């Protein structure tokens, strides 16, 4: 749903200009220094990019899902680490509070997340619990008006910068599945909370992950999301439904950028006396990529509109994440192929993008988990 085409157009134009004029020229520096320059963070704050998906009464822009994916198509046309910085405040690092938080929790945290004053992060994955998220082992034991958390979270995006963490922990140690899990807001600096060393990743330099460790970490009971035990797994799943749609939109945007770069290269690069873009085998790669990006874009827009209409889009979000992230991988591969030897050296951005986009098929649920979600929902629907 687009609330006001003109206002959205202005936002998308300014984001597109920001990407072209400010972010793309900084891609090499970002990859070299592994950090987003502070002035860019400040510009992002001024553009309101940290609060796009936070309700207006808490200082955000409250984009609808359709508006959000159209934003993602634009911001993703540069190194994914730039988007990642604002990704958690708009997505997994805030939406637990937005969807299921109490009024007091919303009032306390959302305005500061929306302004970019604080960074939010989402701590679900653990060393022994990745795809099987309901098997997580971190515990939260009630002690008076506090909970005491113990456990380790792994690969937590933006954890090194984070000021608050949405943490899923087991409040019923004897309970096995998701119903024994609760979600908490844990602030940086809470006694017993520490961070591991920053992970050395394959790509996405400038976006950071690390372990988050809880050792008898005391958290006020006021920070139990929604004030209710046993619903934290469902909160996490709802957050991921939205996150998966967002990531699918990011895949569309970044695939478009890679294809533009590949097309430009193919039109400039001459072999056998003509630009390689004139060769049909190159054209096939360009055309297949264009068609697949278009298909993913249509899927993402359709699922976003359905979510805005109030539908349960768990299946559609997984379809989008599955198709768009795999599509993005294929486009990256073809773009390297079109660049030939030049695609394998760091002088061209495609070498970096090829590594950066590999993550999309893994995080916020692997391709295989999306397949599982889709098929299980199909079987459930057929039974009903």
| Candidate residues 121, 314, 325, 349; the one interacting with ligand COS per rule CB under 6 A | 314
Instruction: Give the residue with the Cβ less far from ligand COS, 218 or 306.
Output: 306
Angstrom distance (rounded) from CA 176 to CA 178: 7
Q: At closest approach, how far in Å is the CB of 312 from ligand COS?
A: 8
Q: At closest approach, how far in Å is the CB of 157 from ligand COS?
A: 7
By the 8 A CB rule, do 79 and 355 touch?
no
Question: Does residue 231 belong to the site contacting ligand COS (CB under 6 A)?
Answer: no
Angstrom distance (rounded) from CA 119 to CA 90: 10
By the 8 A CB rule, do 66 and 1 touch?
yes
By the 8 A CB rule, do 225 and 96 touch?
yes
Candidate segments 211-219, 260-268, 272-280, 365-373, binder of ligand COS by CB under 6 A: 365-373
Site map (CB under 6 A) of ligand COS, residues 76-95, x = contact: ----------------x---
Helix or strand run (H / E) with residue 330:
helix 314-339
DSSP string, 69-133: HHHHHHHTSS-HHHHHHHHHHHTTTTHHHHHH--HHHHHHHHHHHHHTSS-EEEE--BTTBSS-G
Question: Does residue 237 belong to the site contacting ligand COS (CB under 6 A)?
Answer: yes
Which stretches does DSSP call E strand in the chain?
120-123, 139-143, 146-157, 164-170, 181-187, 193-195, 209-220, 270-271, 274-275
Which residue in the list 126, 316, 351, 364 is annotated as catalytic? 364
Question: Does residue 207 belong to the site contacting ligand COS (CB under 6 A)?
Answer: no
Question: Does residue 238 belong to the site contacting ligand COS (CB under 6 A)?
Answer: yes
Q: Give the SS3 label for residue 242.
A: helix
Question: Does residue 210 belong to the site contacting ligand COS (CB under 6 A)?
Answer: no
DSSP string, 294-314: HHHHHHHHHHHHHHHTT---H
Angstrom distance (rounded) from CA 136 to CA 77: 35
Instruction: Give the residue with the Cβ less far from ligand COS, 24 or 372.
Output: 372
Angstrom distance (rounded) from CA 195 to CA 214: 9
Question: Does residue 368 belong to the site contacting ligand COS (CB under 6 A)?
Answer: no
Q: Give the SS3 label for residue 203.
A: coil
Please give the residues from 127 up to 146 whose contact with ligand COS meets the rule CB under 6 A.
Answer: 131-134
Site map (CB under 6 A) of ligand COS, residues 144-183, x = contact: ---------------------------------xxx----
Please give the residues from 109 up to 128 whose contact with ligand COS meets the rule CB under 6 A.
Answer: 122, 124-125
CA 208 → CA 11, 153, 156, 190, 272, distances in Å? Answer: 27, 14, 8, 21, 44
Q: At closest approach, how far in Å is the CB of 235 from ligand COS?
A: 8
Site map (CB under 6 A) of ligand COS, residues 39-78, x = contact: ----------------------------------------
Known catalytic membership, residue 364 = yes
Question: Does residue 240 belong to the site contacting ligand COS (CB under 6 A)?
Answer: yes
Which chain residues interact with ligand COS by CB under 6 A?
92, 122, 124-125, 131-134, 177-179, 233-234, 237-238, 240-241, 314, 363-365, 369, 372-373
Could you give the residue numbers annotated as active site?
Answer: 364
């Amino acid at each position: 749903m687009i609330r006001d085409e003109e206002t959205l157009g202005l936002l998308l134009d300014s984001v597109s200009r920001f990407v072209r004029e400010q972010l793309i020229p900084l891609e090499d520096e970002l990859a070299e220094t592994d950090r987003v320059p502070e002035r860019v963070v400040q510009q992002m704050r001024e553009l309101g990019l940290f609060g796009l998906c936070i309700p207006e009464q808490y200082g955000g822009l409250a984009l609808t899902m359709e508006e959000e994916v159209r934003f993602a198509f634009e911001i993703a046309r540069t190194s994914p680490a730039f988007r990642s910085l604002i990704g958690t405040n708009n997505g997994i690092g805030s939406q637990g509070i937005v969807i299921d938080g109490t009024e007091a929790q919303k009032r306390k945290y959302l305005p500061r997340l929306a302004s970019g004053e604080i960074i939010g992060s989402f701590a679900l994955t653990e060393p022994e619990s990745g795809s099987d998220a309901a098997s997580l082992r971190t515990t939260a034991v009630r002690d008076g008006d506090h909970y005491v958390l113990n456990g380790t979270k792994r690969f937590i995006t933006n954890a090194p910068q984070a000021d608050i963490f949405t943490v899923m922990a087991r409040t019923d140690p004897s309970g096995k599945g998701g119903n024994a899990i609760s979600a908490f807001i844990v602030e940086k600096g809470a006694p017993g909370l520490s961070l591991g060393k920053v992970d050395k990743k394959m790509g996405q330099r400038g976006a950071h992950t690390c372990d988050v460790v809880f050792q008898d970490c005391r958290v006020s009971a006021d920070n139990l999301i929604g004030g209710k035990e046993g619903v934290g797994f469902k909160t996490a799943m709802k957050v991921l439904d939205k996150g998966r749609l967002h990531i699918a939109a990011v895949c569309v945007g970044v695939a478009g950028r890679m294809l533009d770069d590949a097309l430009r290269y193919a039109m400039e690069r001459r072999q056998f006396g003509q630009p390689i873009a004139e060769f049909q085998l190159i054209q096939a790669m360009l055309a297949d990529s264009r068609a697949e990006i278009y298909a993913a874009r249509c899927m993402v827009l359709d699922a976003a509109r359905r979510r805005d209409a109030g539908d349960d889009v768990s299946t559609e979000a997984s379809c989008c994440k599955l198709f768009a992230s795999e599509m993005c991988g294929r486009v990256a591969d073809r773009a390297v192929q079109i660049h030939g030897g030049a695609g394998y050296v760091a002088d061209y951005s495609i070498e970096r993008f090829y590594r950066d986009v590999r993550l999309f098929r893994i995080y916020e649920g692997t391709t295989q988990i999306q397949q599982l979600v889709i098929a299980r929902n199909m079987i459930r629907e057929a039974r009903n």
